[in-house]
Amino acid sequence: MKENHDKPQTPSGPYDVDQLNRELAERLQSDEDIPERERKHRHHHSSHHHHHSHSSSHSGNHSSSHSSSHSDSHGSSHSSSHGGSRKTRKGNHISEKRMSNKRKSDARWKKASRVLTVCVCLLLALTISASAVFFYMRHKGNRNLSDNKSDLDIRLPKGAEKDGDIIIYKGHKYKYNDNIITILMLGLDTPLSETGDDKIGGGNGQADTLVMAVLNKNTNHLSFVNISREAMVDVKEYNVDFKYLGLKRMQICLSYAFGNGRDTSCLNTIDAVSRLMFGMPIHGYMAMDYDGISVLNDAVGGVTVEVLEDLTDKDPALKKGEQVTLQGNQAQTYVRSRHTEELESNELRMERQKQYMNTFSRQVIAMSRKNLMLPFSLVSKVSDHVTTDVTPSSIVYLSSLVVRNGITGGEIKTVPGKVVDGGKYAEFIPNNKKLFKLILNTFYEQVE
């Protein structure tokens, strides 16, 4: 077999590096094997020749033939033998050089392979870690919300009975749905930057908007319960030193005033809302002053509404019946303005707020399906205008529900009742029978 010492040709154009390395390795292996086979063959031939030259046990014809052949060709054989040895040493030298290059190439590839393996492992570890953090926060968020609910004894209207965890009303049995998560959302009439412990009792503003966001974790059904700021309810009253004075019946919006303008105000409002709602538990709060509305509005690209009430005295563009994409402070004007000289001005404003909130929430839900970080981004943008006890892990949990399964429903319910003239202020008197029916349909499951 002819030994091939041709150098591999370097391609002049684009090439496959992996294929080139495989071909080079195969050629080096071939070059290595050829001298080894020649050395074995020549060593065998030399031994065989030596044996025939000195052995006397072979037949005469064979001995004579071999001797003659040996005599005739001795000079050339000798010369050829020495020439073959030189060629073999040259072949060994070339093979050893190539083997050295191959070992260096293998070492480089092994090093590169180790680096690549380390990078892949690091990437995999980061992916696993990120997933682990996400699922941990999701689990923690679910637990935080479940453990954070307010715990008031359920108050029943006339005609309703309680048997353990079961409510019996008009011949049917109901059980509270433990898969419900309720967040109280508040719109504040005073900037958070102007509140403080030294302003308890009036200086920290009021809750102008009160909405319960109710999410069923199993079905992903979301609904809202809108509460009039003028709803009359028993509120815990505190003095300026935050000393408890007792319960006093007043507009529910005033419950926020009896606190520090942040957490204690929100907790006092939760207490009042839960009392109004026959003791329904609330799992968290998120309160935002009105200055945050324009920030959120613009963060989602504006909100388009059909103007429900003529507000041209506030903004010439807000003409009843017009389609307007609210931008900047225009959004705050639309959801906050009211004509206080009208008895039902708050009811009219609540209709605008419901309309705006419904459109805004649908936009956020749709955008969150494409961008899981959107809720974090929105909270971050309005952080100076928001106070909340909803933790980042809880936001992760709630966002994951939206992205994974989507949201159904979105309807906005309103606490039923009527507005009356209270002398000094308007008062909203809830219709307890209709309200209790709303509560059973929203927070309970009929079991019989």
Q: How far is CA 427 from CA 186, 246, 412, 434, 448, in A?
A: 19, 21, 22, 18, 37
- Quickly count helices (H) and strands (E) in the chain: 9, 16
How many Å apart are CA 337 and CA 335, to the nearest integer? Answer: 6
CA proximity to 232, closest of 194, 190, 264, 275 = 275
Buried b / exposed e along 372-405 (16+ C-beta atoms within 10 A): eebbeebbeebeebbbbbbbebbbbbbbbbbbee
Q: How far is CA 129 from CA 122, 125, 132, 141, 398, in A?
A: 10, 6, 5, 18, 21
Buried b / exposed e along 135-170 (16+ C-beta atoms within 10 A): eebbebbbebbeebbbebebbeeeebeeeeeebebe
CA proximity to 220, closest of 403, 442, 408, 364 = 408
How many Å apart are CA 123 and CA 196, to the nearest integer? Answer: 48
User: Quick one: pLDDT at residue 445?
Assistant: 93
User: Quick one: pLDDT at residue 12?
Assistant: 40
What is the token pair recorded at 281?
């538990």
Each residue's pLDDT expressed in tens, for the chain with a length of 448 residues? 444 444 444 444 444 445 545 554 554 454 444 444 444 444 444 444 444 444 444 444 444 344 444 444 444 444 444 444 444 444 555 556 555 665 656 665 555 555 555 555 555 454 444 444 444 445 555 666 666 666 556 678 888 898 888 999 999 999 999 999 999 999 999 999 999 998 988 889 999 999 999 989 888 888 999 999 999 999 999 999 999 999 999 999 999 999 999 999 999 999 999 999 999 999 999 999 999 999 999 999 999 999 999 999 999 999 999 999 999 999 999 999 988 888 888 889 989 998 998 899 889 888 877 887 787 788 889 989 999 988 877 877 777 776 666 677 778 899 999 999 988 889 999 999 999 999 999 999 999 8
Q: Count Cβ atoms below 10 Å from residue 281 Cβ, excluding itself.
A: 19
What is the token pair recorded at 155?
């108050």
How many Å apart are CA 160 and CA 169, to the nearest integer? Answer: 5
What is the token pair recorded at 169?
């009303």
Q: Is the dihedral of CA 36, 39, 43, 48 positive or negative?
A: positive
What 3-state class would DSSP assign to 303? strand
pLDDT, tens only, 148-189: 666 556 678 888 898 888 999 999 999 999 999 999 999 999
Q: How far is CA 46 from CA 49, 54, 60, 77, 348, in A?
A: 5, 13, 22, 11, 116
CA proximity to 445, closest of 177, 181, 155 = 177
Helical packing angle, 329-336 and 345-370, nearest 10°? 140
DSSP label at residue 253? G
Q: What are phi and psi of 233, to 5 degrees?
A: -160, 160
Contact 167, 173 (CB under 8 A): yes
Distance of CA 205 to the CA centre of its chain: 35
Q: What are phi and psi of 326, to 5 degrees?
A: -70, 135
